[in-house]
A = this chain, B = another copy of it.
Amino acid sequence: MMTNISPNLAIGIDIGGTNSEYGIVNHRGEILIKGKIRTDTYNTVEPYINELYENLMPIIDDYRKVGNVLGIGVGAPNANYYKGIIEYAPNLRWNGVVPLAQLITQKFGLPCTLTNDANAAALGEMIYGAAKGFRDFIMVTLGTGMGSALVCNRQLVYGQDGYAGELGHTTIIRGGRKHWKTDILGSLESYVSATGVMLTAKEMLQQSNEYSSLREYDDKLINSRLVYECAMKGDKIAKEVYRFTGQILGEALANFVMVTSPEAIVLFGGVIKAGELFLAPAREHMEKNLLPLYKNKVKIILSELNEADAAILGASTLVWELPYVTNV
């Protein structure tokens, strides 16, 4: 007896502030084909969906010859898993509430689920990356901002409204630095994101008269990457910026570890490129602030996926959990 074995396929889309990347993914987590369009050239969502359709639909049609395309999973900033909407995303030009899942389903004729970008990355790591096999972990993305997601008992923690896991907005230094957007004082994001690294560097330069190669640059050119480069050349202040950043992250991780008791913290994003400069103090101060019960149990590990792939893969995994898929 011959059986027609058509592999199931899922679409993953990662919507970022500048670009949107998409891919067709099989059950093994292999991205069979990838592509991208701009996100930031559209003031409203409808022409964006049209552009996405014109680029992606021909590929979907191609792959339908060899497999079953089951649906579309999307990772996007401020996306709500429960409602299928994007709400007031500060990094997107579409204003207000965007019913993205519904718009995509209507246009493509395929079921669509979305989740926020940090959750998508956590799913990608859990199923295909550094967190493979972990039941409990915390994902932290340190880019321009800080994203984060909690996985407990192999499930993403969504909370009452889909907005759980905003670790970056918790207060780490009471009465500390005012956040440029939220006005919260001393929030974690304001210290450990790339923006935080830049602000710490500027503060440290102002507060001391010590020589630093960073002083040779115009104030506007100082960013987390330049601080890293100077630190690698031995600049004392630049090194101290990353040491301090790592310490603050470590202290915060100790708190989160005592909340969810994860096996690992998976780190991701530009800031972690500073490597041990930043990771050594993070580990040290995490351990230092833990109760003995938790010490030397929690791994700090780095993402194994490249950034674009992690988000596409993670978003695609949403498709395997679509309710109807369980009946396939």
Binding site for B on A (CB under 8 A): 87, 135-136, 150, 152-153, 155, 157-167, 169-174, 182, 184, 251, 254-256, 258-263, 289, 291, 293-294, 297-298
Contact = CB atoms under 8 A, between A and B. Distances in A.
Contacts of A158: 153, 261
A90 to B, nearest CB: 11
A153 B157 contact: yes
Contact of A261 (B87, B161, B251): B161
Contacts of A291: 166, 169, 182, 184
A258 B170 contact: yes
B166 A251 contact: no
For the complex of A and B, list the 9 residue pairs with the smallest distance between their C-beta atoms, beginning with the closest: A159-B261, A164-B261, A170-B255, A160-B263, A166-B258, A152-B157, A136-B160, A163-B261, A169-B258
B160 A262 contact: yes
A52 to B, nearest CB: 27
Contact of A160 (B164, B182, B254, B261): B261
Contacts of A153: 155, 157-158
A259 B170 contact: yes
Contacts of A169: 258, 291
Given A172-B174, A174-B251, A184-B289, A259 B165 contact: yes
A298 B259 CA distance: 19
A326 to B, nearest CB: 18
A158 B166 CA distance: 20
A164 B153 CA distance: 12
Residue among A150, A170, A251, A258 facing the most chain B CB atoms (10 A cut-off): A258
Residue among A172, A259, A291 facing the most chain B CB atoms (10 A cut-off): A259
Nearest to A248: B174
Contacts of A150: 259-260
A82 to B, nearest CB: 11
A166 to B, nearest CB: 4
A322 to B, nearest CB: 18
A96 to B, nearest CB: 14
B160 A258 contact: no
A159 B222 CA distance: 40
Given A158-B261, A159-B136, A261-B159, A171 B294 contact: no
B260 A171 contact: no
B259 A167 contact: yes
25 contacts: A87-B293, A135-B160, A136-B159, A152-B157, A153-B155, A153-B157, A153-B158, A157-B261, A159-B262, A161-B297, A162-B261, A163-B294, A164-B260, A164-B261, A165-B260, A166-B261, A166-B293, A169-B258, A170-B255, A171-B255, A171-B289, A173-B174, A174-B251, A255-B255, A256-B259
